[in-house]
């Protein structure tokens, strides 16, 4: 995945962000703080332009919608 505005490669950054976001959202001890922690994930990412941050925040993994995991 690349940012269509600046052309920066974002694939590895998106995967790290989604993993960290899932860790925060699935932890019941962090329920009240999860919005602040997820927004801190974005603000702590260095060397990213605002266009790249917007792409990362709006990323949707369509493979989970097409082929849902069996629980």
* Residue 56 CB partners (closer than 8 Å, separation 6+): 10, 13, 14, 17, 42, 45, 48
49-68 confidence digits (pLDDT tens): 999 999 998 888 888 788 87
Domain ranges for the chain, please list them.
11-66
5-48 pLDDT, tens digit per residue, is: 999 999 999 999 999 999 998 999 888 999 999 989 988 888 88
Q: What is the pLDDT of residue 20?
A: 92
The pLDDT of residue 62: 85
């Amino acid at each position: 995945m690349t940012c269509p505005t600046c052309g920066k490669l974002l694939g590895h950054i998106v995967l790290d962000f989604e993993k960290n976001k899932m860790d925060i959202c699935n932890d019941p001890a962090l329920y009240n703080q999860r919005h602040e922690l997820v927004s801190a994930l974005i603000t702590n990412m260095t060397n990213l332009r605002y266009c790249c941050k917007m792409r990362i925040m709006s990323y949707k993994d369509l493979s989970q919608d097409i082929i849902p995991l069996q629980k």
